[in-house]
Structure 1
Amino acid sequence: MFAAISKRYDLLNRVLSFNQDKYWRRVAVSKLRVDGDSCWLDMCAGTGDVSIEMVKQEDFSGSVVAGDFCAEMLRYGIQKCKHLDINNIKFVNADAENLPFDKNTFDGAITAFGIRNIADRKKALLELTRTVRNNRRIVILEFSLPTNRIFKSVYHYYFKRILPLSGSILSKNDTAYSYLPASVQAFPGRQEFAALMKNVGMKNVEYFDLTFGIVTVYVGTTQK
Structure 2
Amino acid sequence: MLSDQRHNKEKIQQMFAAISKRYDLLNRVLSFNQDKYWRRIAVSKLQVDGDSCWLDMCAGTGDVSIEMVKQEDFSGSVVAGDFCAEMLRYGIQKCKRLDINNIKFVNADAENLPFDKNTFDGAITAFGIRNIADRKKALLELTRTVRNNRRIVILEFSSPTNRIFKSVYHCYFKRILPLSGSILSKNDTAYSYLPASVQAFPGRQEFAALMKNVGMKNVEHFDLTFGIVTVYVGTTQK
With normalisation by structure 2, the TM-score equals 0.94
**How far, CA to CA, are the matches of 1:160 and 1:110 in structure 2?**
27
**How far, CA to CA, are the matches of 1:93 and 1:60 in structure 2?**
24
- Residue 25 of structure 1 aligns to a residue whose secondary structure is helix
Q: CA deviation at 1:204?
A: 0.0
- Residue 126 of structure 1 aligns to a residue whose secondary structure is helix
- Deviation readout 1:43-80 (Å, 9 max, x if unpaired): 00000000000000000000000000000000000000
Matches of residues 24-63 of structure 1 in structure 2 within 5 Å?
24-63=38-77
**How far, CA to CA, are the matches of 1:6 and 1:95 in structure 2?**
18
Aligned to 2:10: none
Q: CA deviation at 1:109?
A: 0.1
> Where does structure 2 lack aligned partners over 5 or more consecutive residues?
1-14
**How far, CA to CA, are the matches of 1:34 and 1:208 in structure 2?**
19
Give the length in aligned residue pairs. Answer: 224
Q: CA deviation at 1:99?
A: 0.0
- Residue 64 of structure 2 aligns to a residue whose secondary structure is helix
Q: CA deviation at 1:20?
A: 0.1
Is 2:141 the counterpart of 1:100?
no
**How far, CA to CA, are the matches of 1:19 and 1:82 in structure 2?**
23
Aligned to 1:217: 231
After TM superposition, the runs of 4+ consecutive aligned structure 1 residues lying more than 2 A away are none
- Deviation readout 1:103-148 (Å, 9 max, x if unpaired): 0000000000000000000000000000000000000000000010
- Deviation readout 1:138-167 (Å, 9 max, x if unpaired): 000000000100000000000010000000
**How far, CA to CA, are the matches of 1:149 and 1:26 in structure 2?**
27
- Deviation readout 1:170-217 (Å, 9 max, x if unpaired): 000000000000000000000000000000000000001000000000
**How far, CA to CA, are the matches of 2:231 and 2:143 in structure 1?**
17
- Residue 230 of structure 2 aligns to a residue whose secondary structure is strand
**How far, CA to CA, are the matches of 1:160 and 1:219 in structure 2?**
28
Matches of residues 141-180 of structure 1 in structure 2 within 5 Å?
141-180=155-194
**How far, CA to CA, are the matches of 2:23 and 2:175 in structure 1?**
20
Q: CA deviation at 1:37?
A: 0.0
**How far, CA to CA, are the matches of 2:118 and 2:174 in structure 1?**
41
- Residue 111 of structure 1 aligns to a residue whose secondary structure is strand
Q: CA deviation at 1:97?
A: 0.0
> Where does structure 1 lack aligned partners over 5 or more consecutive residues?
none
**How far, CA to CA, are the matches of 1:38 and 1:161 in structure 2?**
43
With normalisation by structure 1, the TM-score equals 1.00
**How far, CA to CA, are the matches of 1:154 and 1:169 in structure 2?**
21
- Residue 46 of structure 1 aligns to a residue whose secondary structure is coil
- Residue 146 of structure 1 aligns to a residue whose secondary structure is coil
- Residue 217 of structure 1 aligns to a residue whose secondary structure is strand
**How far, CA to CA, are the matches of 1:96 and 1:160 in structure 2?**
28
- Percent sequence identity over matched residues? 97
**How far, CA to CA, are the matches of 1:123 and 1:221 in structure 2?**
17
- Residue 184 of structure 2 aligns to a residue whose secondary structure is helix
Q: CA deviation at 1:87?
A: 0.1
Q: CA deviation at 1:221?
A: 0.1
